[in-house]
Amino acid sequence: MSIQSKDFYVHENDKVKLDKWPTLVKSYCETKKEYHEHLDKHIHELSSLQRLLYASKTYSLLLVFQGMDAAGKDGVIRHVMSGVNPQGCQVASFKNPSTKELEHDFLWRTTQALPERGKIGIFNRSYYEEVLVVRVHPEILTTQNLPADLIDENNIWKERYSSILDMEKHLKRNGTEIIKFFLHLSKEEQRNRFLERIEEPDKNWKFSQADIKERKCWDKYAETFEECLSATSTKEAPWYIVPADNKENAHLIVSHIIIEKLKDMNMSYPHMNKQHIEELQSIRSALLAE
pLDDT in tens, 127-145: 999 999 999 999 999 889 8
Q: How far apart are CA 25 and CA 245, in angstroms?
A: 9
| Structure confidence by residue, pLDDT tens digits, 8-28 | 999 999 999 999 999 999 999
What would the mean pLDDT of 194-213 be, rounded to a whole number?
Answer: 89
Of 74, 81, 1, whose CA–CA distance to 38 is shortest? 1
Give the pLDDT score at 131. 97
Give the pLDDT score at 134. 96
Instruction: State the Cα angle at 191 between 190 and 196, rounded to 5°.
Output: 95
The answer for residues whose C-beta is within 8 angstroms of residue 74's C-beta and 6 or more apart is: 124
Q: Is the pLDDT of residue 278 over 90?
A: no
Give the pLDDT score at 282. 87
Q: How far apart are CA 94 and CA 29, in angstroms?
A: 33
Of 214, 194, 229, 250, whose CA–CA distance to 20 is shortest? 229
Q: How far apart are CA 198 and CA 277, in angstroms?
A: 61
What H or E segment, with its residue span, contains residue 184? Answer: strand 176-184
CB neighbourhood size of 208 (10 A):
12
Q: How far apart are CA 97 and CA 171, in angstroms?
A: 23
Span of 83-97, 115-129, 219-233 with lowest mean pLDDT: 83-97
Query: Judging by beta carbons within 10 Å of its beta carbon (0-12, 13-18, 19+), is residue 124 exposed, middle or buried?
Result: middle
Q: How confident is the model at residue 112 (pLDDT cuts 50, 70, 90)?
A: very high
Give all strands of the β-sheet with 89-93 in edge-to-edge order: 9-10, 239-243, 176-184, 60-67, 120-124, 89-93
pTM: 0.93
Q: Is the pLDDT of residue 150 over 90?
A: no
Q: How far apart are CA 233 and CA 283, in angstroms?
A: 51
Strand partners, 286: none
Q: Is the pLDDT of residue 272 over 80?
A: no
Q: Is the pLDDT of residue 241 over 80?
A: yes
| Structure confidence by residue, pLDDT tens digits, 98-110 | 999 999 999 999 9
Domains of the chain in sequence order: 5-289 (3.40.50.300)
Half-sphere exposure of 242 (CA within 13 A, CB side): 33
28 three-class SS: coil
